[in-house]
């Protein structure tokens, strides 16, 4: 009986922690000025999916896909913010990219989430592989959205296209890795 209560409290604390994270992220995004790189709704969706994946015990490859998408989104936001505030320095995109990946990957390594010898696929750590694929395909989805807009005379084909295209691409990639790791 005590074990059941502790398990329920553990689940409730995880829900509370993720709910607080999502609400604080949403508050931050709504209170900030708009960036033109990747829309805030897309970034919130990616962050929410990462939290849910960890909560439901989804494979690390799939979690990594969404983490990679979130990293690319944050890099794009930061670059757009720097440009809008006319902050320029040599190598800013490369240094920002390196900094964001280091800030995310190094703590995951220190916590033992990356580098575990039994958590590999194709000889590469599952979480790291997911981050690589997620980053590459999220960036591809952003360029795909830009291509679609140019093809349509600078207009989107449907409402929230900027949100839907990257999320659908990451969703398809997640499905592929789900079937590969199942």
Q: What is the mean pLDDT of residues 13-23?
A: 51
pLDDT of residue 151 exceeding 60: yes
Q: Is the model more confident about 155 or about 113?
A: 155
What residues contact 46, with CB distance under 8 A and at least 6 apart? 66, 69, 70, 73, 138, 166, 167, 170
Distance of alpha carbon 93 from alpha carbon 45, whole angstroms: 24
How many of the other CB atoms lie within 10 Å of CB of 53?
A: 20
Q: What is the pLDDT of residue 167?
A: 87
Q: By three-state DSSP, how is residue 121 classified?
A: strand
Residue 137: band (very low, low, confident or very high) from pLDDT cuts 50, 70, 90: very high
From 158, 154, 155, select the one nearest 168 (Cα to Cα).
Answer: 158
- Please report how the helices 60-84 and 126-151 are oriented relative to each other, as an axis angle in degrees rounded to 10: 50
pTM: 0.67
Find the largest Cα–Cα distance for the chain. 64
Structure tokens at 13: 């604390």
Residue 34: band (very low, low, confident or very high) from pLDDT cuts 50, 70, 90: very low
Average pLDDT over the chain, rounded to an integer: 76
Instruction: Give me the residues paired with residue 120 across strands.
Output: 125
Q: What is the pLDDT of residue 80?
A: 86
89-108: pLDDT as tens digits? 888 889 999 988 988 888 77
From 81, 60, 76, select the one nearest 132 (Cα to Cα).
Answer: 60
Of 66-80, 111-125, 160-174, the poorest mean pLDDT is in: 111-125
CB burial readout 117-135, b (16+ within 10 A) else e: eebeeeeebbbbbbbebbb
Residue 118: band (very low, low, confident or very high) from pLDDT cuts 50, 70, 90: confident
């Amino acid at each position: 009986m005590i074990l059941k209560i502790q398990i329920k409290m553990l689940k409730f604390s995880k829900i509370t922690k993720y709910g607080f994270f999502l609400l604080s992220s949403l508050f931050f995004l709504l209170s900030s000025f708009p960036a033109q790189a990747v829309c805030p709704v897309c970034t919130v969706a990616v962050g929410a999916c990462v939290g849910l994946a960890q909560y439901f015990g989804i494979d690390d490859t799939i979690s990594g896909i969404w983490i990679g998408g979130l990293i690319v989104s944050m890099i794009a936001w930061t670059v757009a913010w720097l440009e809008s505030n006319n902050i320029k320095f040599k190598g800013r995109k490369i240094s920002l990219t390196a900094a964001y990946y280091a800030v995310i990957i190094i703590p995951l390594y220190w916590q033992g989430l990356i580098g575990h010898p039994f958590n590999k696929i194709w000889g590469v750590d599952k979480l790291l592989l997911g981050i690589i694929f997620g980053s590459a395909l999220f960036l591809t989805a952003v360029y795909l959205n830009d291509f679609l807009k140019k093809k349509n005379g600078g207009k989107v084909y449907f409402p929230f296209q900027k949100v839907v295209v990257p999320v659908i691409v990451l969703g398809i990639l997640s499905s592929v890795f789900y079937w590969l790791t199942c």
